[in-house]
Amino acid sequence: MEPIEIPVATFAMKLVMVPAALFIAGFVLWWGIPKLLLYLRIVAGRAPRKPGTRTIHLVLGFGIYMLVFAPALIAVLILLSMTTTPPSIVSAEGVAGGGGFLSARKTIRWDEVIRVDCSWNRNHRVNSLRVVAASKRIELSGGDDLTDIRDLIWSKVPRHAGRPCSVPFGSATGL
């Protein structure tokens, strides 16, 4: 069996997500860094406080800045994950996935598989698979139809491991 590669995201998804993540991170940093620098000067005593500003306001301000910079951090983590994670591999030995900046590469052999979960969209196309072993889990997605991959995986694992696909946020299930 030839190994099958499943990318983290299709080229079309990357074409949309990379600029979006860069825009979000850039905008938040462009808007927030000057304000954060002023805040830090006030906290350090290098700039005067506005009248009526108490210490509790400065402490709460730190929490506000954490919330302001959270979208930029999330966008950068998504960007790093999409650009550094190698494709998942389905081969005769099993499934390998992950690896990259944010996670370690995991391999699950076919005899280790406990469960295979899948979800499909409303058009009954499989859009994600989850191969589960005792202490590991590998997610397969990428934006393409994974019906053929699901059928291949189901043919390699024990019969009880295959589960009917589910529709996220829906009640319909089926094979």
Within 10 Å of residue 25's Cβ, how many Cβ atoms? 20
User: Which of 84, 103, 121 represents a domain boundary (last residue)?
Assistant: 84
Q: Strand, coil or helix: what is 100?
A: coil
* Closest listed residue to residue 163, CA positions, set 119, 112, 109: 119
Note the residue count of the chain: 175
Q: What is the CA radius of gyration of the chain?
A: 23
> What is the predicted pLDDT for the residue at 170?
61
- Average per-residue pLDDT for the chain: 90
Give the domain range for residue 65.
8-84
For the cut 70, the answer to whether the pLDDT of residue 172 exceeds it is: no
Same domain for 96 and 147, yes or no, is yes
For the segment 15-62, what is each residue's pLDDT rounded down to a tens digit?
999 999 999 999 999 999 999 999 999 999 999 999 998 989 999 999
Same domain for 14 and 80, yes or no, is yes
Same domain for 103 and 61, yes or no, is no
Same domain for 78 and 35, yes or no, is yes
> What is the predicted pLDDT for the residue at 160?
87
**Number of domains into which the chain is organized:** 2
For the segment 124-160, what is each residue's pLDDT rounded down to a tens digit?
889 899 999 999 999 998 778 899 999 999 999 988 8
How far apart (Å, rounded) are the C-alpha atoms in residues 55 and 130?
49
* pTM for the full predicted model: 0.77
> What is the predicted pLDDT for the residue at 79?
93
